[in-house]
Amino acid sequence: MISGSLEEYLKTIYILKNEKQEIRVTDIAERMNCTKPSVNKAVKSLQAKELINYEVYGDIELTQEGEKLAKKILEAYDITYIFLTEILKVEKQKAEEEAIKIKSVLNDNTLNKLTKYIYKTLGLNELNCNYDINKEECRNCKKKVLKKV
């Protein structure tokens, strides 16, 4: 388990990875609007937890476990953001801020239930796959359903 702050760094690294090939401390600092020393501290922590590979002044790469966790973090964010905006009708800017906070305190069982509730309430296809946020095939199945809608 990692802190909410480290989750945001990991999520940012994953997003940057999908936008470009090389990721450096400067890229993360610019994206997160924070200082390079803050990023360096986070990068060292993520490296110690074997979620990224990094050599000083080199590129930052996600490990397989780091990428898996980053995808789960994004999924949890998406679930809470959709709940706030589509069901509770919270203004988007406020929902973005609150989704970050909420997703980090919900356990996996609650996130699974929230996902099923959102799908049922919004009239999306049922998640008949016994949705589990920890199973990547479930996250992929959910995205397929969302793309059809």
List pLDDT tens digits, range 89-137: 999 999 999 998 898 888 989 998 898 888 888 877 665 566 666 666 6
The pLDDT, as a whole number, for residue 16 is: 93
The pLDDT, as a whole number, for residue 130 is: 63
Token pair listed for 24:
């450096």
Contact, 123 vs 144, CB < 8 A? Answer: no
**Could you tell me which of 31, 63, 71 has the C-alpha nearest to residue 46?**
63
Angle at 76 between CA 71 and CA 3, to 5 degrees: 80
The pLDDT, as a whole number, for residue 149 is: 42
Domains in the chain, please, with CATH?
Answer: 4-62 (1.10.10.10), 71-148 (1.10.60)
What are the tens digits of pLDDT across the range 40-84?
999 999 999 999 999 888 899 999 999 999 998 888 898 899 999
The SS3 call for residue 132 is coil
The pLDDT, as a whole number, for residue 39 is: 95
The pLDDT, as a whole number, for residue 134 is: 67
CA dist 57 and 10 (Å) reads 18
Give residue 21's pLDDT band: very low, low, confident or very high (50, 70, 90).
Answer: confident
The pLDDT, as a whole number, for residue 35 is: 95
